[in-house]
A and B are shown apart, each in its own frame.
Chain A
Amino acid sequence: MLTRRVIPCLDVDAGRVVKGVSFVDLRDAGDPAELAALYDSEGADELVFLDITASSDNRDTMVDVVRRVSSEVFIPLTVGGGIRTVDDMRRMLEAGADKVGVNSAAISDPDLISRCSKEFGAQCVVLAIDAKRVINPAILNIEGELPQLAESPWQVFTHGGRRPTAVDPVKWAKLAEKLGAGEILLTSMDADGQRTGYDLQLTAAVSENVGIPVIASGGAGEMEHFYDALETGKADAVLAASLFHFGELRVSEVKSYLAERSIPVRGA
């Protein structure tokens, strides 16, 4: 039986893992390869690396990071952040990434998904969606029409959550699947960093409307949250960052907990 996946996410800035990594058993908590190896040893099913480098000069640094990690760690790696072209994706895949996430660039150019999918196969193409509950569309000052917002409780944001769009995440996910995306990485901006649990409604709405796997992201604060995202949120995989980085929860603990609650996981 296919297992559900537990995925640590690492934010990388100029070649270093950022955001309070505090593992005692690491020599260098900022080294992506070392942290990747540690997560691997704890039973992480995959790793996601998010390039949060602001300037494009540092893209080469990310390629080096991917190359170094993939030479040492033999589990699937997804890389996202700043991917705008088929060639951007090619560079990451050639460096050793297995999947590459697109986000903002796909919103302004949805066909990017089909081009990448045709070139490398759907299994390489992850659509990252950052979504937020719409409180009052009128105050959001969004350019263009808002036909979808009238019907949807959520809207998609781009550029690291800074720029609102008039796009409904559920419809966007369905379109992306049709265009050739192989997986959806869905982050709730409302839940992100709150540690009060994933947005289960959002996760279920997307997951039940697509035939491709959905990774739930944003909001994990305790073990039960992972269970809820998989069970109630119908996610195929759960992602967390700071919870693992701060060593508050170990990947192995989360997997044991899920196994006890009859969720199929690897090696628990």
Chain B
Amino acid sequence: MSARIAIINTRAANLHSVSKALEKVGASAEVTSDPEALKNAAGVVLPGVGASDAVMRAINSQGFAGPVKKYAASGRPLLCICVGMQVLFDGSDEGEIPALGLLAGRVERFPRDLREDGKRLKVPHMGWNLVKFTPEAASDSVFSGIPQDSYFYFVHSYRCLPADPSVIAGTTRYGEDVCAAVLSGEVAGTQFHPEKSGDLGLEIYRNFVRRVG
């Protein structure tokens, strides 16, 4: 029997942790380099860490770009993590390769002189920060049941700037309001790492597996 959840092999460093998190919540998931696997998958995870171009190169070279877009359009659950969420947008200042363009907007580096209460903030934004989810996201999505102002683990130097603010499902505060999660139909993305955010992070995977059915 093939796994119901396909984890796209983006050659990203968090592949192992994402697989283990899904395993932990009882899902049958498999890392795949075969775009064909998306046809019959009931759920797909797009993990990413590091540079946008590295993830896009992995997606393009294995022929995933078209199939991922087709999969997203099918309305089946797609969970995109960190740089996996960033490549949903049109492109990133970090790289030159155009991204998937499933969501309108750009990805840009945090400003050089980022401040909070007059104090200069360091980049990467690294560590545990509070996330506020929108009422829509909290009611019926992979983010359901996550208490408001919960801590999640972030590590990123670039952040998403969605053209359409209605796709923002959650924000965190780091010198500015930062897009921490996106939602568009069954396409969900997190800038933070749910697979590194303890029990609440696992809860997001549990929700995802539930939606996969």
A interface, CB within 8 angstroms of B: 1-5, 40, 45, 67, 70-71, 74-76, 93-98, 118-124, 182-183, 210-213, 236-237, 266-267
Contacts and interface: CB of A to CB of B under 8 A. Distances in A.
B196 A236 contact: no
B123 A211 contact: yes
B17 A123 contact: no
Contacts of B197: 74-75
Contacts of B128: 2-3, 5, 45, 266
A97 B195 CA distance: 12
B124 A122 contact: yes
Given A96-B17, A212-B124, A121 B51 contact: yes
Contact of B126 (A75, A213, A267): A213
Contacts of A96: 16-17, 20
A232 to B, nearest CB: 15
B156 interface: yes
Contact of A121 (B50, B199, B201): B50
Contacts of A123: 49-50, 124, 126, 155-157
B122 A211 contact: yes
B210 interface: no
Query: Chain A at the B interface: mostly helix, strand, loop or mixed?
Result: loop
B17 A70 contact: yes
A50 B77 CA distance: 39
B202 to A, nearest CB: 6
Contacts of B198: 40, 74-75
Interface in B178-193: 193
Interface residues of B, number: 41
Contact of A120 (B13, B16, B17, B129): B13
Given A1-B173, A98-B17, 7 more contacts: A5-B127, A74-B21, A75-B197, A118-B51, A121-B50, A124-B13, A212-B124
A2 B129 CA distance: 5
Contacts of B57: none
B164 interface: no
Contacts of B17: 70, 74, 96, 98
A122 B20 contact: no
Nearest to A123: B155
A266 B157 contact: no
Nearest to B50: A121
B122 A1 contact: no
Of the listed residues A2, A71, A76, A122, the one surrounded by the most CB atoms of chain B closer than 10 A to its CB is: A2
Contacts of A266: 128, 151
Contacts of B130: 1
Nearest to A121: B50
